[in-house]
Amino acid sequence: MDLLNATMASTIGDTSIEPSSVNGTVEDYCHYEVMQQHMLVMRFWMVSVFGSSISFISMVENIFLFLLFVTSRRHRRENLFMMLLAFFDIFVSMAYIMLMSVNVLSDVLMSPLLVSIWYTYMIPILTISHIAMTSSSFLIVAASFERYCATLNTPYLRFAQRNRKFIALCAVFLGVISKGTISIEFELVNHEQCVGKMMATTMKFRPFVFDTHYNYLFRFWYRHFVTVFAPFFILLYLNIRIVRALTTYTTATVCLVTNGNSEDLQKRKASARAATRTLVMVGCCYIFSNIINVILTSLEQTNNELGIDYPDLYIVLIDLVSLLTTMACAARLPIYLYCQPVLRREIFMHFKRLCAPCNPSTSEKLGERLKSMETDTSFLSKGDVKPSEGIPTTTFNEMKPPSCLHSPYETLL
């Protein structure tokens, strides 16, 4: 049963219905049938083993990244989007294990105890995970828009950089508004006749979901188009524009305070290129991990009985959507390590410092190196400069005069 993607709502009603056969025996009333029994072993290895391993690795990576960013004043200022992404990725990865893996494992073991435990936290964890995923998608779009403005030297760059905190807050707020109501859409039903059995507790939609326009206007139109289709196609457009710009023109407009220092200029240009590569790869990773989700959501709108007509294919795609989501979370750290040389050195220094906590001299040396690295890159986060101090070094488009930026390029995102 998929509980981590946009198709959750349409499938959960089929798999969590109340027991029928009221006039039958207790055994009939409490009978539990596993979805696609012949695929259970495959789903166990795919979800509970492989997926849980990826999720655990993702949790460790993103906890490390979040601590790295949140403990550095420079990172909190320059890399706000990355810090929030790491924070939300922790919850997405944790939710995969608690929702998907435990759910499949309970079917394999046929454990009523595991099912009852799963239902105690299912609704709040489901809500948190969806808020985290939706907020992350909006944060990636916001970061990509800023990088798009920097790459194409648009007049909106100054606004995007100066209002970064407000934009990030809006992204998180949209995530809460869009998916926070999941917590009130479901209710648990306890069946006294089935105590100690798999069907002791079931879940169903609350009456208002389908008795009002909430399902059609909010769950169908708003959630599908604002949280699934809009981020996907906006990010696709921004990435295409950025990649086209980088392949069409060999240079980009770089406006910074160099004071005639060519070494600072080269560092700044390298940082701008690295930041662009990072955003393109993060965006492409998001697009790739959501292709199946977008296609599946589109098909569900045209065929409400897709899960009934093609049950095997449907359940595999459902599991793939959730698996690709957590794999995208786990891929962020490798992307940063590959695209960001300065951040890569800083991460290795922090890792070595964690591995040598009992050696005061080694920790002191590593701490001094980290401070020197932060000092070396401090010019990337200087405040506003006067227009006369900005030096446009190269022109992104010869047909368009370069505009001097009043704030520097962001280091990473």
State the pLDDT confidence band at 396, using cuts at 50, 70 and 90. very low
Which two three-digit tokens encode residue 224? Answer: 């599908």
For the chain, what's the residue count? 413
64-68: Cβ within 8 A, 24+ apart: 64/333, 64/347, 64/350, 64/351, 65/332, 65/333, 65/336, 66/90, 68/346, 68/347, 68/350
CA distances from 33 to 28, 57, 373 (A): 11, 33, 59
DSSP letter, residue 410: P
Q: Furthest-apart CA pair in the chain: how many Å?
A: 88
Residue 223: pLDDT over 50: yes
Amino acid 17: pLDDT? 40
Residue 399: pLDDT over 70: no
Distance of CA 72 to the CA centre of its chain: 22
CA distances from 245 to 231, 293, 333, 395 (A): 21, 29, 26, 12
Higher pLDDT, 83 or 407: 83
As a whole-number percent, the residues of the chain with pLDDT over 90 amount to 42
Q: What is the pLDDT of residues 22-59, one digit of tens each?
A: 445 666 678 888 878 888 999 999 999 999 999 999 99
Helix, strand and coil in the chain, % to nearest 5: 75, 5, 25
Amino acid 216: pLDDT? 87
* Best CA proximity match to 228, nearest among 317, 288, 297: 297
Amino acid 20: pLDDT? 45
Q: What is the mean pLDDT of residues 318-337?
A: 93
* Best CA proximity match to 206, nearest among 241, 182, 222: 182
Amino acid 404: pLDDT? 35
pTM for the model: 0.80
Per mean pLDDT, which of 21-35, 113-127, 301-315 is the most reliable?
Answer: 113-127
109-113, 272-276, 283-287: the lowest-pLDDT one: 272-276
Amino acid 93: pLDDT? 96
Amino acid 122: pLDDT? 94
Amino acid 372: pLDDT? 54
DSSP 329-362: HHHHHHHHHHH-HHHHHHHHHHHHHHH-TT-HHH
State the pLDDT confidence band at 264, using cuts at 50, 70 and 90. low
3-class secondary-structure state, position 85:
helix
Amino acid 243: pLDDT? 85
Query: What is d(CA 202, CA 13) in angstroms, rounded to the nearest whole number?
Result: 10
Q: What is the mean pLDDT of residues 202-226?
A: 90
The mean predicted confidence, pLDDT, of the chain is 78
Amino acid 120: pLDDT? 93
Q: Which amino acid, one-letter code, is at 320?
A: L
Query: What is d(CA 77, CA 411) in angstroms, rounded to the nearest whole number?
Result: 10
Higher pLDDT, 275 or 116: 116
Residue 9: pLDDT over 90: no
Q: Which amino acid, one-letter code, is at 90?
A: I
Residue 104: pLDDT over 80: yes
Q: What is the mean pLDDT of residues 157-179?
A: 94
DSSP letter, residue 44: I
Query: What is d(CA 319, CA 317) in angstroms, rounded to the nearest whole number?
Result: 5
